[in-house]
Amino acid sequence: MHLGDALWAIPEGYKSTPDSDRSQAIAVLDSIISLVNAIAPIAAKQIVVPLNQLRFALIELSFGNVVPMLRPRKLKDGRHPDTIVRTSLRALASGAMTVLMDLGLTRKESAEKVAAVLRSKKLKVANWDTVAQWRDQVRRPGEPHRARGSYDLVLSMEYAGLEELLSQGSPGEAARNRYVKDFLVRFGEFVEKTRIDCES
């Protein structure tokens, strides 16, 4: 019954807007809280506390009040942290630059090609040096950068094909150019998919 309420809260043909997303999230949280109370009333006393806190925080947000739970953390310089989509895209760009450098392209050539792909996907990139700085940040020694996982994902996805190419010795210019061209197409598709996944 409570799961039915949760499904009923999201109508077919649902259109996403900040207000509708918030109101639907509140309705679904309410159904989940009712479900937990019905299934395990004793355990629910503990389980529903954070769910209720989130529900009331979203209700407050509807009235324009941002409770501490939803207030973004600021960095030491006062800026807000990058969004997940921005962090992921920077990491993907950094990984792509590393792949190109492993193929023998210079730091600048690699960064320029990656920046060109990002611009073709309507993403703002100042210049090649910006991409190179992202890579430096992700690879900086010490505590892993929050984007390191996405960076490593690009390398792992390309590693097999890249290893096969490099195992044959230094690739000829034609083979290298062909691989670079194909890789940049794959990278562009991956950027597009990542952006859609993160923003949906």
Q: pLDDT tens for residues 162-200?
A: 777 777 666 677 878 888 898 899 889 888 887 766 554
pLDDT per residue as tens digits for the range 84-111: 778 878 888 999 999 999 888 999 999 9
d(CA 21, CA 15): 9
Q: Which range, 33-37, 46-50, 115-119, 165-169, has the best average confidence (pLDDT)?
A: 115-119
Q: At what angle do helices 107-120 and 84-102 cross, to 10 degrees?
A: 140
pLDDT mean across residues, the chain: 81
> Which is nearest to 128 in space by CA: 147, 144, 114?
114
Asked whether the beta carbons of 191 and 121 are under 8 A apart, the reply is: yes
If you compute the radius of gyration of the chain from its CA atoms, what whole number of angstroms results? 23
Question: By three-state DSSP, how is residue 79 classified?
Answer: coil
Q: Where are the domains of the chain?
A: 2-70, 84-199
DSSP 103: T
CA distance 155 to 176: 17
CA distance 16 to 184: 32
Query: For the whole prediction, is pTM greater than 0.85?
Result: no
